[in-house]
């Protein structure tokens, strides 16, 4: 009696393990049925050219695991206890392909969602990628010292569960930071530490949404929010943004389950919602019983004028849920942010968080708490603000040098600006493709984590450029390359008399001009 087994002496797995795995596969695949005899160990060893001991050890292991039974004086058999119907079902499974796509039809999963573009995006050599902090500004030295100090006092923090809402010391430090920085007087109890804004958005949806509920959202919007609420099968109601941010007058009269908004630096357009609109917005939320989710992702960076307090700081009726993140001021790899909820949501928010993940890792929270409480965070912010203000100016100067009076918006704060394309330049997506061919990353309203619902005045008219992660030299080279690419792509130099208007565009969206009259 021979069974189809072949062992590979060059395999990293031992001969015994290979034999064990192959017999097991034959049994589970139904090729060795319950009760079937196995070859005697001596015969199988001979067949395979291995020592008898190897076979005996493999048989012993399979017996201990319940696949085989040995019967005194009769030999070794496939266990009779194995439910044959299950083995038959397994036999129906086609052998998995390398891509794993040959699985049988399964019950469809109810989840429907699109992946947003924040994580894992490909980077170009000179990438004006949005919202990335300067990698050289991370305070490695101090972080290492704090880490060592915190580790020395770890006690049982690694072995115990912590508070699912976050380390109390970190929540206190955040509460103390939020008062002066964002005008929010908050009790640490109202803070839930999360893995960045994205988790905060998810918790807000779990708290507030049922399938089919209306979610009002800025147009254009942050893709991470749009796709998240969409995945909860909410009904998205895009509300246009103008150069003062969300058009509050266009909000639905009957409210929504929630409104997602970025008042400090509208993502992606960069506008700041003025105080008068903020007050109207809060009034609308109160009248219509709508919760506002305020994403304050990059408000630490304000370069001109004084910051307007966060919406939550103006809210007297408990309508606002505030989202803050350390992804922008420190780094997205930290995966730390926070949700501040009105008092009536403290209990439900804690429960939702506990059900979600029982809280964030202790070590990072403890280090960050020390970092903020020691005043190092405020110093760090002051330092990088200065770095970013210089990079922002460098970018504006370069655009003006190469493209004339470049019209930009959203540059009073944040980590990117919006460049309104002059008519003689290609449309946004054509310009983006052209730039990418030359290794330069620029972003349209449909990319760079933005989502354009359409119908707005800036569709294809603007591109966004992040300035925070590139040094001045890279910014200069990037814009020079972009200008050279645009010049090279122009079929003929435009005659001055036909400059704006009247220009048609070729298939790539590049302006085509009539040749000058001879
Ligand atoms: C508007 C907005 N909110 C939030 C985030 C980031 O969130 P997280 O804290 O999850 O990294 C981004 C990142 O690009 C963003 O642009």
Q: What is the DSSP string of 265-317?
A: S-TTT-----HHHHHHHHHHHHHHT-EEEEE-TTTT-B-SSPPPPPHHHH-SS
The architecture CATH gives domain 15-91: Orthogonal Bundle (1.10)
CB 466 within 8 A of CB 474: no
- Give the global pTM: 0.84
CB 314 within 8 A of CB 423: no
Please report the pLDDT score of residue 504 as a whole number.
57
CB 255 within 8 A of CB 284: yes
Please report the pLDDT score of residue 105 as a whole number.
73
Please report the pLDDT score of residue 117 as a whole number.
78
Please report the pLDDT score of residue 41 as a whole number.
94
Ligand 1 centre to CA of 92 (Å) is: 46
Q: Tell me which of 325, 332, 360, 464 to substitute to probe ligand 1's pocket, judged by most ligand atoms within 8 Å of the beta carbon.
A: 325
Residue 510: which of 403, 399, 402, 425 has the closest Cα? 425
Rounded-to-10 torsion of CA 126, 132, 134, 136: -90
In this prediction, the residues of the chain whose per-residue pLDDT falls under 70 are 88-104, 119-121, 492-518
Six-digit token pair at 276?
């008068």
Ligand 1 centre to CA of 310 (Å) is: 17
For the CA of 295, the nearest atom of ligand 1: 3
Six-digit token pair at 244?
């003062």
- Separation CA 379–CA 376 (nearest Å): 5
What DSSP state is assigned to residue 497? G
Domain boundaries, the chain: 15-91, 138-378, 382-512
- Separation CA 225–CA 414 (nearest Å): 18
For the CA of 267, the nearest atom of ligand 1: 1
CB 459 within 8 A of CB 452: yes
Six-digit token pair at 27?
């049994």
Ligand 1 — pocket residues by CB below 6 A? 118, 131, 196-198, 222, 224, 262, 267, 295, 297, 325, 327, 332, 337, 449
Please report the pLDDT score of residue 499 as a whole number.
46
Ligand 1 centre to CA of 202 (Å) is: 13
Please report the pLDDT score of residue 383 as a whole number.
96
Q: Tell me which of 116, 117, 118, 261 to substitute to probe ligand 1's pocket, judged by most ligand atoms within 8 Å of the beta carbon.
A: 118
Q: Tell me which of 121, 130, 133, 197 to substitute to probe ligand 1's pocket, judged by most ligand atoms within 8 Å of the beta carbon.
A: 197
Ligand 1 centre to CA of 201 (Å) is: 10
Q: Write the residue with the smallest CA distance to atom 13 of ligand 1.
A: 131
- Separation CA 265–CA 450 (nearest Å): 13
Ligand 1 centre to CA of 196 (Å) is: 7
List the beta strands (DSSP E) in 38-188: 68-71, 75-78, 126-127
Please report the pLDDT score of residue 511 as a whole number.
55
Please report the pLDDT score of residue 510 as a whole number.
54
Q: Tell me which of 131, 203, 265 to substitute to probe ligand 1's pocket, judged by most ligand atoms within 8 Å of the beta carbon.
A: 131
Ligand 1 centre to CA of 195 (Å) is: 11
CATH pick for 382-512 out of 3.30.9.10, 1.10.3720.10, 3.40.50.620, 3.90.1150.10: 3.90.1150.10
What DSSP state is assigned to residue 329? T
Please report the pLDDT score of residue 259 as a whole number.
98
For the CA of 326, the nearest atom of ligand 1: 9
Ligand 1 centre to CA of 110 (Å) is: 26
Please report the pLDDT score of residue 123 as a whole number.
85
Q: Write the residue with the smallest CA distance to atom 2 of ligand 1.
A: 297
Is domain 138-378 in CATH 3.40.640.10, yes or no? yes
CA distances from 26 to 38, 96, 259, 338 (A): 11, 15, 57, 52
């Amino acid at each position: 009696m021979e069974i189809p087994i072949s062992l590979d002496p060059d395999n990293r797995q031992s001969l015994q393990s290979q034999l064990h795995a192959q017999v097991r596969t034959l049994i589970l695949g139904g090729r060795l049925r319950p009760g079937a005899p196995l070859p005697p160990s001596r015969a199988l060893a001979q067949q395979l050219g291995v020592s008898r001991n190897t076979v005996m050890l493999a048989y012993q292991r399979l017996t201990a695991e319940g696949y085989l039974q040995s019967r005194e004086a009769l030999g070794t058999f496939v266990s009779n206890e194995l439910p044959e119907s299950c083995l038959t079902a397994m036999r129906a499974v086609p052998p998995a392909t390398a891509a794993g796509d040959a699985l049988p039809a399964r019950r469809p999963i109810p989840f429907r969602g699109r992946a947003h573009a924040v994580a894992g995006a490909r980077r170009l050599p000179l990438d004006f990628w949005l919202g990335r902090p300067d990698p050289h500004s991370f305070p490695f030295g101090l972080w290492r010292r704090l880490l060592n100090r915190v580790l020395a006092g770890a006690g049982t923090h690694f072995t115990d569960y912590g508070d699912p809402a976050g380390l109390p010391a970190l929540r206190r430090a955040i509460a103390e930071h939020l008062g002066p920085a964002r005008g929010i007087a908050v009790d640490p109890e109202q803070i839930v530490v999360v893995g960045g804004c994205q988790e905060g958005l998810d918790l807000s949806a779990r708290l507030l949404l049922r399938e089919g509920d209306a979610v009002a959202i800025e147009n254009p919007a942050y893709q991470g929010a749009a796709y998240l609420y969409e995945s909860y099968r909410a009904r998205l109601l895009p509300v246009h943004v103008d150069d003062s941010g969300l058009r509050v007058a266009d909000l639905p009269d009957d409210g929504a389950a929630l409104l997602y908004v970025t008042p400090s630096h509208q993502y992606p357009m960069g506008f700041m919602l003025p105080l008068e609109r903020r007050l109207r917005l809060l009034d609308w939320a109160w009248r219509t019983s709508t919760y506002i989710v305020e994403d304050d992702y990059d408000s630490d960076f304000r370069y001109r004028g004084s910051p307007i307090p966060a919406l939550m700081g103006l809210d007297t009726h408990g309508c606002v849920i505030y989202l803050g993140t350390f992804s922008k001021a420190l780094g997205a790899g930290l995966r730390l942010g926070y949700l501040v909820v009105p008092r009536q949501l403290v209990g439900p928010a804690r429960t939702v968080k506990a059900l979600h993940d029982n809280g964030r890792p202790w070590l990072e929270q403890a280090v960050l708490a020390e970092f903020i409480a020691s005043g190092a965070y405020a110093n760090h912010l002051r330092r990088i603000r200065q770095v970013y203000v210089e990079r922002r100016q460098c970018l504006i100067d370069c655009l003006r040098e190469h493209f004339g009076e470049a019209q930009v918006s959203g540059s009073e704060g944040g980590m990117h600006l919006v460049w309104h394309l002059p008519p003689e330049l290609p449309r946004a997506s054509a310009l983006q493709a052209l730039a990418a061919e030359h290794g330069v990353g620029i972003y349209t309203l449909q990319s760079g984590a933005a989502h354009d619902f359409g119908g707005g005045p800036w569709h294809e008219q603007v591109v966004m450029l992040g300035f925070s992660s590139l040094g001045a030299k890279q910014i200069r080279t990037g814009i020079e390359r972009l200008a050279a690419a645009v010049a090279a792509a122009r079929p003929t130099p435009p005659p001055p008399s036909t400059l704006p208007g009247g220009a048609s565009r070729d298939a790539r969206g590049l302006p085509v001009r009539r040749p000058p009259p001879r």
